[in-house]
Amino acid sequence: MLPDGEIVRNVLFDAGAAAALPKGAIVLDMSSSDPVGTCAPGEVLSAQGVTLVDAPVSGAFDSGFSAGLMVKDVGIAAELARAMGVAAPFAHDCVAVWQKMAAALGAGADHTEFFRFGERRGSTKPAD
């Protein structure tokens, strides 16, 4: 889940995720984005035979999902995809990242700490 439409578009098109999607894939956009801003990516993906489902969350990234819960839930999704023979190339990478976060910050760390965790790992600056 990404926080906003701009980041969704960056991941899909600038980082190349859309080009890697097979025909028939479904992209679930759960970001808190402007519905109008979701239309253009949906049209581009549709031309590739990929469906974009706009399924926004509440509009806020309030606390409530612990890193431990994310490890469990993403792990279940990865295992389900494997068991069904569905390609999920990033699923196990996601599990590994959440496991590292849980190990570093504790399984009870809130999911909103994920971005600060990433900043700390990619920076030589002290965490704030």
In this prediction, residue 123 carries a pLDDT of: 52
pTM score of the predicted model: 0.46
Pair (47, 85) in one structural domain: no
Domain that holds residue 50: 5-54
Distance of CA 99 to the CA centre of its chain: 15
Distance of CA 27 to the CA centre of its chain: 11
The tens-digit pLDDT sequence of the chain (128 residues) is 788 888 888 999 999 999 999 998 888 887 777 767 778 888 999 999 988 877 666 545 455 678 887 887 788 788 778 877 888 888 888 888 888 888 888 888 887 777 777 777 765 444 44
Pair (76, 107) in one structural domain: yes
In this prediction, residue 64 carries a pLDDT of: 64
Work out the end-to-end distance of the chain between its first and last CA atoms, rounded to an integer number of angstroms: 24
Pair (46, 81) in one structural domain: no
Task: Give the count of domains, the chain.
Answer: 2
Considering the domain boundaries, does residue 127 fall inside one? no
In this prediction, residue 56 carries a pLDDT of: 65
Q: Which residues contact 16 (CB under 8 A, 6 or more apart)?
A: none
Considering the domain boundaries, does residue 47 fall inside one? yes
Pair (50, 14) in one structural domain: yes
Pair (46, 86) in one structural domain: no
Pair (50, 71) in one structural domain: no
In this prediction, residue 98 carries a pLDDT of: 83
d(CA 117, CA 107): 13
Pair (75, 50) in one structural domain: no
Pair (113, 76) in one structural domain: yes
In this prediction, residue 118 carries a pLDDT of: 72
Pair (112, 81) in one structural domain: yes
Long-range contacts of 97-105 (CB under 8 A, 24+ apart): 98/67, 98/70, 98/71, 98/74, 99/71, 101/67, 102/67, 102/68, 102/70, 102/71, 105/67
Pair (50, 73) in one structural domain: no
